[in-house]
């Protein structure tokens, strides 16, 4: 810029020799009509160029005057740029504070100006409709509707380094406390959590229920999770040395929703103590990119001081056939007595390639019985899904994240569509007749649910209206051997045609 101005000045001098010969000096007038001076304004007058002593050479004096004027304009331009940047920062600050003060999606997020304190109501509403088709057995399934989840709560940030959440579930005319915890986040790459929260377990269990592909998680995930994971009161630490590595470990008691031996018989000499245990999970994504993810993980837990109701040192494993409207359990171990402790180990894997997703888990549960034979149980599931509209399932912190349609219903399109297929199996057949509390000699084989097995195939279609609302369709084709659903026969089979409307905020 400076070179161009000097070049222009040279041409001006050479083209006006008369002025140069007469020795006319270029000065800065006090009241100039020059457009440049009018743009610079009054402030430029206070930064006038230093006076250069005449040299006697008209051309050189004119060059000196032009150079001084250029320096003045450059200085003023720098001042204007700084002022513009300052004004832009002020505008951005005001916009940021206004945005933080109240942001709305389905629910508002409120923040004070510094952002150290935030408040947000949260909730989940899931309404189910199910029709059953009995294919084998005499069990009368309950067609109808039900609220799978009806949760309301709040969450936020306090003093910058603390996160909090409290949430209750009102589904089924029963109030249960789901989350109630405080997190400390100041330690680099570490989150400490204290209160009732999810114990480290597996992919489906630790994944938010809002992001599940099917109406219900795999049967073994629910059965083994209820025995030693899910939401419990305790303390845990999660450490992520980098984005693709996550480790979590915690010490947990029972869930706040578990009854505290309120119905113990009057003849009992003592009521069972609360169970406790240690849970851990580690995950790794060796491939982690947008639309291309490979996920691997392992989890486990140890639990002792077990109880089933008011029966001390006891365990009971039950699960329904991937549907919750009907309360019939397709698999039930009965009460397993004399259980000293539980040990669980599981593995998980998932892969995302554009719109295609694969995921699966497998786990085994060991029940230690010092006075009898130990028992072990196993289960697994595997599924694949595909977005017909091209979206890809995101991953964050070792778990699936929220699906965001390219085009939202009612805004710029019809939303996102996903099809999915899953095979799911839970096997409790190792228990034989030893699982009952009664002496082995009097074990009533026919009523002990011995040798229970259950499996299902689920075909799903999900319609995502937007990131927070979706409609889910599941056709579940299930069967079970020696299940409690049919006290007459030894096998049960059926179909469930289920629909769920989901909204979370």
Whole-number pLDDT of residue 24: 37
Whole-number pLDDT of residue 374: 86
SS3 label, residue 149: strand
Tokens of 369: 């019985």
pLDDT in tens, 424-472: 999 998 754 444 444 333 343 334 455 589 999 999 999 999 999 999 9
DSSP string of 38-104, one letter each residue: HHH-HHHHTTPPPPPPP-S-HHHHHHHHHHHHHHHHHHHHHHHHHHHHHHHHHHHHHHHHHHHHEEE
Report residues of the chain scoring pLDDT below 70: 1-52, 89-104, 258-270, 431-451, 487-489
| Full-model pTM | 0.76
DSSP state at residue 413: B
Whole-number pLDDT of residue 6: 44
Assess contact for 203 and 348: CB atoms under 8 A: yes
Whole-number pLDDT of residue 380: 98
State the virtual CA torsion across 261, 266, 270, 273 in degrees, nearest 10.
0
**For residues 221 and 105, what is the distance between their CA atoms, to the nearest angstrom?**
32
**For residues 492 and 454, what is the distance between their CA atoms, to the nearest angstrom?**
9
Overall residue count recorded for the chain in this entry: 505
SS3 label, residue 362: strand
Which CATH code fits 105-260+272-504? 2.40.160.10
Whole-number pLDDT of residue 269: 54
- What's the distance, Cα to Cα, between the start and end of the chain in Å? 55
Tokens of 321: 């056939």
Whole-number pLDDT of residue 51: 61
**For residues 206 and 349, what is the distance between their CA atoms, to the nearest angstrom?**
14
- Give the H or E element holding residue 331: strand 331-332
DSSP state at residue 275: P
118-149 core/surface letters (b: 16 or more CB in 10 A; e: else): bebebbbbbbbebebeeeebebebeeeebbbb
Domain ranges in the chain? 2-100, 105-260+272-504
Assess contact for 353 and 292: CB atoms under 8 A: yes
Assess contact for 331 and 454: CB atoms under 8 A: yes
Whole-number pLDDT of residue 27: 40
Whole-number pLDDT of residue 3: 45
DSSP string of 338-386, one letter each residue: S--EEEEEEEEEEEEETTEEEEEEEEEEEEE-TTS--EEEEEEEEEEEE
């Amino acid at each position: 810029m400076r070179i161009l101005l000097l070049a222009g000045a040279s041409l001006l001098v050479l083209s006006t020799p008369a002025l140069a010969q007469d020795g006319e000096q270029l000065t800065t007038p006090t009241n100039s009509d020059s457009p440049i001076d009018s743009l610079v304004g009054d402030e430029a007058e206070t930064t006038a160029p230093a006076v250069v002593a005449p040299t006697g050479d008209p051309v050189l004096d004119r060059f000196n005057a032009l150079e001084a004027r250029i320096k003045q304009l450059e200085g003023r331009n720098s001042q204007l740029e700084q002022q513009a940047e300052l004004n832009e920062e002020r505008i951005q600050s005001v916009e940021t504070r206004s945005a933080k003060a109240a942001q709305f999606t389905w629910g508002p997020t409120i923040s004070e100006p510094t952002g150290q304190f935030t408040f947000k109501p949260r909730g989940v509403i899931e309404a189910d409709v199910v029709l059953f088709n009995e294919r084998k057995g005499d069990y009368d399934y309950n067609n109808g509707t039900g609220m799978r989840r009806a949760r309301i709560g709040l969450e936020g940030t306090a003093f910058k380094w603390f996160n909090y959440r409290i949430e209750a579930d009102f589904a089924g005319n029963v109030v249960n406390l789901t989350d109630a915890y405080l997190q400390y986040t100041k330690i680099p790459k570490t989150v400490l959590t204290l209160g009732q929260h999810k114990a480290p377990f597996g992919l489906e269990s630790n994944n938010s229920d809002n992001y599940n592909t099917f109406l219900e998680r795999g049967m073994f995930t629910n059965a083994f999770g209820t025995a030693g994971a899910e939401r419990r009161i305790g303390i845990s630490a999660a450490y992520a040395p980098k984005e693709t590595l996550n480790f979590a470990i915690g010490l947990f008691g029972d869930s706040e929703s578990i009854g505290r031996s309120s119905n113990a018989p009057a003849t009992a000499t003592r009521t069972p103590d609360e169970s406790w245990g240690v849970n851990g999970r580690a995950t790794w994504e060796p491939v982690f990119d947008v639309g291309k993810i490979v996920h691997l993980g392992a989890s486990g837990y140890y639990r002792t001081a077990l109880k089933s109701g008011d029966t001390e040192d006891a365990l009971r494993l039950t699960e329904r056939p991937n549907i919750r409207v009907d309360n019939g359990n397709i698999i039930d171990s009965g009460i397993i007595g004399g259980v000293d402790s539980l040990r669980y180990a599981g593995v998980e894997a998932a892969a995302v390639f554009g719109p295609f997703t694969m995921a699966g888990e497998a786990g085994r549960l060991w029940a230690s019985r010092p006075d009898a034979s130990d028992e072990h149980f196993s289960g697994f599931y595997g599924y694949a899904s595909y977005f017909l509209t091209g979206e890809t399932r995101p991953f964050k912190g070792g778990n699936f994240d929220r699906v965001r349609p390219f085009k939202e219903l009612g805004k710029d399109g019809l939303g996102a569509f996903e099809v999915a297929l899953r095979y799911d199996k839970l096997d409790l057949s190792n228990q034989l007749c030893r699982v009952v509390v009664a002496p082995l000699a009097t074990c009533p084989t026919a009523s002990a649910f011995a040798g229970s097995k259950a499996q299902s195939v689920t075909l799903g279609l999900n319609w995502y209206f937007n990131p927070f609302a979706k409609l889910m369709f599941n056709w579940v084709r299930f069967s079970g051997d020696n299940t409690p659903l049919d006290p007459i026969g030894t096998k049960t089979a059926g179909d469930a045609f289920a629909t769920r409307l989901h909204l979370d905020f």
